[in-house]
Amino acid sequence: MTASEAQPQADATFDFRIEPKPRLSALADFTTTTGIQVVRLGGGAISGASPAVSAQLAAEAALREILAGSNLTYRFTSPRTVTIESSPDAAIALEPISVTEISIGRGGVSEIDITSADIERRNATDLRGVFRGEPSVVVGSSLPMSQKLYVQGIEETNLAISIDGSRQNNKVFHHNATTMIDPSLLRAVRVDAGVAPADAGPGALGGAIAYFTKDARDFLSVDGFGGLIKSTFNFNGNVSTTNLTSYSRQGGFEALGSFTYGKGSEFRAGNGEQVLGSATDVLSGLGKLAYQSADGHRLSISHEQIRDDAIRPFRANAVQIYGPQTTPLVRPYKLDRQNTVVSYSNVSPEGWWNPNVALGYNRTQVAVDQYAGATPDTYSYTSEGLTDSLNGKVENKFELSIADIVAGIDFYRDRARSIERTYRTAETADNVGAYAQARLKFADSAKLSFGLRGDHQQFGGINGFRSSDQGLSSNVSGEYALTSHLTAKAGYSNVWAGVPLAENYVQNPAWSYGTGPRSVTSDNATAALVALFTSFRIEGGVFRTRIWDARVPLWAADMALRAFDVQSQGFHVGGTYYWDDGFARLQFVRTDTSINGRPADSYLGKYLTAPIGDILTVQVAHSFASLSLTIGGDVEIAFEDDSLLNPVTGIGRLDGYEVVNIFAEHRPFALPSLTLRGEVRNLLNQTYAARGTYGLEYGSGVVRPLYDPGRSYLVSAKLTF
Predicted pLDDT at 75: 52
Separation CA 118–CA 131 (nearest Å): 9
Average pLDDT value over all residues in the chain: 85
Predicted pLDDT at 56: 43
Provide mean pLDDT across the span 459-465. Answer: 94
Provide mean pLDDT across the span 253-273. Answer: 97
Q: Over 60: is that where the pLDDT of 38 sits?
A: no
Quote the strand ranges of 443-595, DSSP E: 446-460, 466-481, 486-496, 521-532, 536-551, 563-579, 582-595
Tell which residue, 119, 107, 137, 146, has the closest CA to residue 13. 107
Q: Over 60: is that where the pLDDT of 65 sits?
A: no
| Element spanning 356, H or E | strand 355-371
Predicted pLDDT at 602: 92
Predicted pLDDT at 62: 52
Predicted pLDDT at 51: 34
pLDDT class of 69 with cuts at 50, 70, 90: low
Predicted pLDDT at 494: 98
The better pLDDT of the pair 720, 86 is held by 720
Range with top average pLDDT, 36-45, 98-107, 220-229, 642-651: 220-229
What pLDDT, in 10s, does the model give residues 171-201?
A: 999 999 999 999 999 988 999 999 999 999 9
Provide mean pLDDT across the span 495-510. Answer: 96
DSSP per residue over 435-486, as a string?
EEEEEEEETTTEEEEEEEEEEEEEEE-GGG-EEEEEEEEEEEEEEEESSSSE
Predicted pLDDT at 118: 86
Predicted pLDDT at 71: 53
Q: Where does residue 119 rank: exposed (0-12), middle (13-18), buried (19+ CB within 10 A)?
A: buried
Helices (H) and strands (E) in the chain, counts: 4, 39
Separation CA 226–CA 228 (nearest Å): 7
% of the chain at pLDDT higher than 90: 69
> Comparing 86-90, 204-208, 243-247, 282-286, which segment has the lowest mean pLDDT?
86-90
Q: Over 50: is that where the pLDDT of 9 sits?
A: no
The full length of the chain comes to 721
What pLDDT, in 10s, does the model give residues 383-431?
A: 999 999 999 999 999 988 888 899 999 999 999 999 999 999 999 999 9
Q: Over 70: is that where the pLDDT of 295 sits?
A: yes
The better pLDDT of the pair 661, 119 is held by 661
> Comparing 26-30, 121-125, 139-143, 487-491, which segment has the lowest mean pLDDT?
26-30
Q: Identify the DSSP state of 1.
A: -
Between strands 160-163 and 207-213, the pairing is parallel
What pLDDT, in 10s, does the model give residues 669-691?
A: 888 889 999 999 999 999 999 99
How far is CA 83 from each of CA 16, 92, 381, 476, rounded to the nearest angstrom? 12, 17, 68, 32
pLDDT class of 545 with cuts at 50, 70, 90: very high
pLDDT class of 585 with cuts at 50, 70, 90: very high
Provide mean pLDDT across the span 655-667. Answer: 96
pLDDT class of 84 with cuts at 50, 70, 90: low
Separation CA 221–CA 71 (nearest Å): 26
Separation CA 560–CA 516 (nearest Å): 9
- Strand-pairing partners, residue 677, are 665, 716
Q: Over 50: is that where the pLDDT of 322 sits?
A: yes
DSSP per residue over 670-702, as a string?
T-TTEEEEEEEESTT------TT-TTTTS-TTT
pLDDT class of 606 with cuts at 50, 70, 90: very high
% of the chain at pLDDT higher than 70: 85
516 Rama sector, left if φ>0, alpha if ψ -120 to 50, beta otherwise: left
Q: Over 80: is that where the pLDDT of 621 sits?
A: yes
Provide mean pLDDT across the span 251-280. Answer: 96
pLDDT class of 489 with cuts at 50, 70, 90: very high
Predicted pLDDT at 103: 35
Predicted pLDDT at 505: 95
Predicted pLDDT at 638: 97
